Chain A
Amino acid sequence: MSDKKPSSQTPVLEIEHLTMQFGGVIAVNDFSMHIDQGEIVALIGPNGAGKTTAFNCVTGVYEPTNGQVLFHGKAIARNHPTGKMKKLYAGLHADKYLADPVRLTPDRITQMGIARTFQNIRLFSGMTVFDNVMLAMHLRRKSNVFSQTLRLNAAEEKQMREKAEKLLKTVDLWEVRDEMATSLPYGRQRLLEISRALATEPTLLLLDEPAAGMNPQETEELSRFIKRIKGQFGLTVFVIEHHMQLVMGISDRIYCIDFGKLIAEGTPVQIQNNPAVIEAYLGGGEDE
Chain B
Amino acid sequence: MTNPKIKKKDRALTVSWIVVAAVYAAVFAAEQVISPNSMLFTVLKKGATYALVAVSMNLLNGFTGIFSLGQAGFMLLGAYTYAIFTIPLEHRSSVYQYFNGGVVQFTLPWFLAMILAGLVAAFFAWLIGLPVLRLKSDYLAIATLGFAEIIRAILQWNQLGPVTNGSNMLRLFPNFNSFNILKADGSVAVYLSTTVPFLIAGVCIGLIVLLLHSGYGRAFKSIRDDEVAAEAMGVNLAHHKQLAFCISSFFAGVGGAMLAMYQTTVQAKSFTTAMTYEILLMVVIGGVGSVTGSVISSFLFVACSEWWLRFLDNEQFIGDFQVPLLRNGFRLVVFSIIIMVVVLFFRRGIMGTRELPDVIRALPGAVRSLPEKMRARRERRSASRKEAGR
Contact = CB atoms under 8 A, between A and B. Distances in A.
Contacts of A61: 228, 232
Given A110-B232, A111-B234, A135 B207 contact: no
A65 to B, nearest CB: 21
A82 interface: no
B225 A151 contact: no
A127 B233 CA distance: 14
Contacts of A143: 215
Contact of A135 (B5, B211, B219): B219
Interface stretch (B76-84, B105-113, B235-243, B269-277): B235-243
A68 interface: no
B118 to A, nearest CB: 14
A136 B231 CA distance: 10
A105 interface: yes
B348 interface: no
A127 B232 contact: no
A148 B216 contact: yes
B181 interface: no
A145 B243 contact: yes
A253 B234 CA distance: 29
Interface in A103-148: 105-108, 110-111, 115-116, 118, 122-127, 131, 134-139, 141, 143, 145, 148
Nearest to B229: A122
B237 A107 contact: yes
Interface in A211-267: none
Contact of A118 (B229, B243, B247): B229
A148 B231 CA distance: 21
A149 interface: yes
A59 B229 CA distance: 12
Contacts of B236: 105, 107-108
Nearest to B216: A145
Nearest to A156: B215
B232 to A, nearest CB: 5
Nearest to B212: A149
Question: What secondary structure prevails in chain B residues at the interface with A?
Answer: helix
A208 to B, nearest CB: 10
A150 interface: yes
Max chain B Cβ within 10 angstroms of own Cβ: one of A116, A118, A124: A124
A131 B231 contact: no
A131 B218 CA distance: 7
Interface in A55-114: 59, 61, 105-108, 110-111
Given A124-B222, A148-B216, A135 B210 contact: no
Given A59-B232, A105-B231, A127 B215 contact: no
A21 interface: no
Contacts of B265: none
B211 A123 contact: no
A138 B234 contact: yes
What band does the interface of chain A fall in when counting residues whose beta carbon is under 8 Å from B? 35 or more
B225 A124 contact: yes
Nearest to B244: A145
A127 B226 contact: no
A196 interface: yes
A145 B211 contact: yes
A118 B237 CA distance: 18
A286 interface: no
Contact of B210 (A59, A107, A125, A151): A151
Given A131-B218, A138-B218, A116 B224 contact: no
Interface in B176-234: 207, 210-211, 214-216, 218-219, 221-222, 224-226, 228-234
Nearest to A196: B233
A122 B218 contact: no
Interface in A153-175: 157, 160
B197 to A, nearest CB: 22
B218 A127 contact: yes
A34 to B, nearest CB: 23
B289 interface: yes
Nearest to A181: B225
A197 B232 CA distance: 9
Most chain A beta-carbon contacts within 10 A, residue among B207, B219, B222 = B222
A107 B231 contact: yes
A126 B235 contact: no
A98 B237 CA distance: 29
Contacts of B243: 145
B231 A126 contact: no
Given A145-B214, A145-B247, 17 more contacts: A105-B237, A106-B231, A107-B234, A110-B233, A118-B228, A118-B229, A122-B226, A124-B226, A126-B225, A127-B221, A127-B222, A131-B218, A138-B235, A148-B214, A149-B216, A157-B215, A197-B233
18 contacts: A106-B231, A106-B232, A107-B233, A107-B234, A111-B234, A122-B232, A126-B224, A127-B221, A127-B222, A134-B215, A137-B215, A138-B219, A145-B247, A148-B211, A149-B214, A149-B216, A160-B215, A178-B5
